[in-house]
Each structure stands twice: as C-alpha cells, then as structure tokens.
C-alpha cells in the first residue's frame, strides 16, 4: 500500500510539472505559425532523422548488453526488445517508470535478479548523465551562450558529480567505517538485505574498467546519433543549426527528461527545447516546432519499436522456470566474476 501511494504521489508530481511546462511553452507562442512550420517539414530530411533515432537506439542496446554481460550474457536481439518495451512504458507512464518495467521484464524472462538488472540501469543512467553534461558544457564553451541555459548545465554538472559520488559510495559501502554494522542491522530483514546485495551486484559493473569504458564510448556514439537527428529535423523545417547548437539542444532537452514529468516527458522536453532555441535567437514558434518534431519522431519510433518487441517477445515470464533452476548459480558466478575483475 505504501509503495502504491508513493508511486501515485510521484506520478502526480510529474504530471503537474508537465502541465506547468506546457503552460510556459504555450503562453507566448503563435500556434498557427508553429503548425505551418510543421506542415512544411521536408520528408527526405525527416527520413535521415529517423535513421539517426534508430542508430541511437541500436547503440543503447549494445551499451546495455555490455553492462549486463558481466552478470549474464543476453543476445542483443532479445535484450534490445526488452529495452524497447521499457521505452514504450516510459512513453505511456509518468516519472520514468519504464526503467523499472524493463528491469523487471529482462530479469523475469532471463532468470536474472531484477534488482541486479536495475543496478545496471542505474549505472547506464549515471554514464548517460555524465556524457550529456560533457556534451552540453562543450557546446556552451563553443557557442559562448549565456543566461538560463548556462545555469541549467551547471546544475547538470553538479548533479552528475553527485551521481558519480553516490555510485562510488554504493560500491564501497561495505569497506566504509560502520559498513559491517549496517550489514548486521540489515540482517534482521533478510529479504531487504538480499535485494540490496543483488542491486549492488548490478552496480558493480561500474567497477570493471573495460565495461565502463565501453559503455562510455557507446554512449558517445548514441548521443552523436541524437545530434544528427536534431540537425536533420532542423533542416527539414528550414532551420540551419550548427553542430554546436544541435549538440546543446540534444543535451539540454534530454537532461530535462530527468525531471519527473508526465508520460513521454511531455512539456519538459518542449520547454527545454524552446528555451535553448531562444538562446540562439530563434523565435518561439520556430523553437517549439523544432522541439515538437524531434520529440514526436523519437516517441513514435520508440513506441512502435516497443510495441513490436512486446508482440514478438510476449509478456509471459520465463524467469520462474529459468530462475528456479539456475538463478542462484548464475548469481554466484556473477559475484565471483565481479570479484575477479574489480580493482582491489
């Protein structure tokens, strides 16, 4: 009951934030002009933008496969499907609940601990945030942008730093002063302690240098594809963006999705896109058209891909069978592999 109440509160806050952002976006824009711009979009450039989105998703699937591999190898085709189902859930559920959905889905069907799977998703989000902040900061230096956009990126830098520190503390918690006492205290609730241990098994992939380096490289590749998508959408609307402007739009709009919001990040994405475009001197209607088209293209492709994956894979769990036979063995092997590869 408490979990349900917490989820409802989080969802309600996200929806309120989305509505507030939509109000800020729409209060001073000519919607007729925005509609005319969207209607004039050139299809060949939109086709290139769609290819950019697909390439982005491919690199993201490779990255998750890389992070999951130390726990248990999963074929890319299946793992990509689980990821797409999670993205579909993000598009229809508020507050990024799709991240929990894909963790549950993969864990349930592959016989992997869902807590460990969630740990890899946490590592993925930390890497994403650090790479995005880096891209945004570099773009600001190149463009010499001032104002609210700079402040937002500085907040992102602080957030990225906190996430890295929090991840490091989580990995080294058992070695910190008082760690054994905390472990003994949690021993009173074996189920909770077990969940924390399995979550840490997933987080420990961040302590594997090759795995972490590969995930960073794949993140850079994925976000490079996103920048191509932004530039192509701009061209389709007759808006010629520089690479720096495209990079700042890609970084800023996606960092904004970290804010709790309604389904599909509606409102927060558009507000961030319009605000960043205004920093380039772009009129509000053009900025909104650009943000809307980027957002719509991403939502449509990820939603269709998620629906196809869900139909192909089905929802019925296989983990009950696989996990009963091999779950504990796999978990023990994963912990042993992490112990062998992690730096002392």
Residue pair 280/245 in contact (Cβ under 8 Å)? The answer is yes
Task: Report the pLDDT value the prediction gives residue 344, as an integer from 0 to 100.
Answer: 26
pLDDT recorded at residue 199: 81
Rounded distance between C-alpha atoms, residue 292 and residue 283, angstroms: 14
Report domain extents, the chain: 30-341
pLDDT score of 5: 62
The whole-angstrom separation of Cα 55 and Cα 221 is 9
pTM: 0.85
Cβ–Cβ < 8 Å for 80, 312:
no
Tell me how crowded residue 329 is: count the other CB atoms within 10 A of its CB: 10
CA nearest to 91, candidates 102, 103, 76, 107: 102
pLDDT in the model for residue 330? 36
pLDDT on residue 189: 59
pLDDT for 322 equals: 37
Q: What is the CA radius of gyration of the chain?
A: 21
What is the Cα–Cα distance from 97 to 35, expressed in whole angstroms? Answer: 31
In terms of C-beta distances under 8 Å and separation of at least 24 residues, what long-range contacts does 29-35 make, across chains too?
29/274, 29/284, 29/285, 29/288, 30/284, 30/285, 31/285, 33/285, 34/285, 34/286, 34/288, 34/289, 34/292
Long-range pairs for 146-153: beta carbons < 8 A, 24 or more residues apart: 146/279, 147/279, 148/275, 148/279, 149/248, 149/252, 149/275, 149/276, 149/279, 152/252, 152/255, 152/272, 153/251, 153/252, 153/255
- pLDDT computed for residue 158 by the predictor: 87
The one-digit pLDDT tens for each residue of the chain (344 residues) are 555 565 566 678 888 999 999 999 988 899 999 999 999 999 999 999 999 999 999 999 999 999 999 999 999 999 999 999 999 999 998 878 899 999 999 999 999 999 999 999 999 999 999 999 999 999 998 898 888 888 888 888 888 888 898 888 887 765 555 555 555 555 565 666 566 667 888 899 999 999 999 999 999 999 999 999 999 999 999 999 999 999 999 999 999 988 888 889 999 999 999 999 999 999 999 999 999 999 999 999 999 999 999 999 987 765 443 333 333 333 333 333 333 333 32
User: Percentage helix, strand, coil, to 5, in the chain?
Assistant: 85, 0, 15
């Amino acid at each position: 009951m408490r979990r349900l109440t917490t989820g409802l509160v989080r969802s309600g806050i996200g929806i309120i934030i989305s509505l507030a952002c939509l109000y800020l976006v729409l209060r001073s824009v000519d919607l007729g002009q925005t509609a005319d711009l969207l209607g004039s979009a050139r299809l060949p450039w939109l086709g290139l933008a769609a290819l950019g989105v697909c390439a982005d998703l491919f690199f993201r699937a490779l990255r998750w496969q890389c992070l999951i591999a130390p726990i248990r190898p999963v074929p890319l085709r299946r793992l990509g499907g689980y990821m797409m189902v999670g993205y579909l859930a993000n598009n229809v559920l508020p507050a990024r609940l799709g991240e929990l959905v894909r963790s549950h889905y993969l864990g349930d069907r592959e016989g992997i601990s869902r807590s460990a799977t969630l740990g890899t998703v946490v590592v993925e989000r930390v890497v994403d945030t650090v790479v995005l902040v880096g891209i945004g900061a570099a773009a600001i230096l190149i463009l010499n942008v001032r104002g609210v956009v700079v402040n937002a990126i500085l907040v992102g830098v602080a957030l990225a730093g906190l996430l890295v520190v929090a991840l490091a503390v989580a990995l080294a918690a058992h070695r910190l002063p008082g760690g054994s006492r905390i472990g003994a205290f949690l021993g009173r609730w074996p189920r909770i302690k077990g969940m924390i241990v399995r979550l840490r098994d997933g987080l420990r992939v961040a302590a594997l240098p090759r795995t972490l380096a590969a995930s960073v490289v794949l993140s850079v590749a994925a976000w490079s594809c996103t920048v191509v998508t932004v530039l192509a959408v701009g061209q389709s609307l007759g808006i010629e963006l520089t690479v720096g402007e495209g990079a700042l739009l890609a970084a800023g709009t996606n960092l904004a999705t970290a804010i709790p919001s309604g389904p599909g990040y509606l409102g927060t994405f558009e507000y961030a896109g319009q605000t960043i475009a205004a920093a380039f001197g772009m009129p509000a209607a053009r900025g909104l058209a650009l943000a809307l088209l980027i957002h719509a293209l991403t939502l449509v492709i990820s939603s269709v891909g998620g629906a196809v994956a869900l139909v192909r894979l089905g929802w019925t769990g296989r983990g009950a069978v696989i996990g009963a036979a091999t779950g504990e063995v796999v978990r023990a092997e994963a912990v042993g592999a992490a112990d062998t590869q992690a730096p002392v």
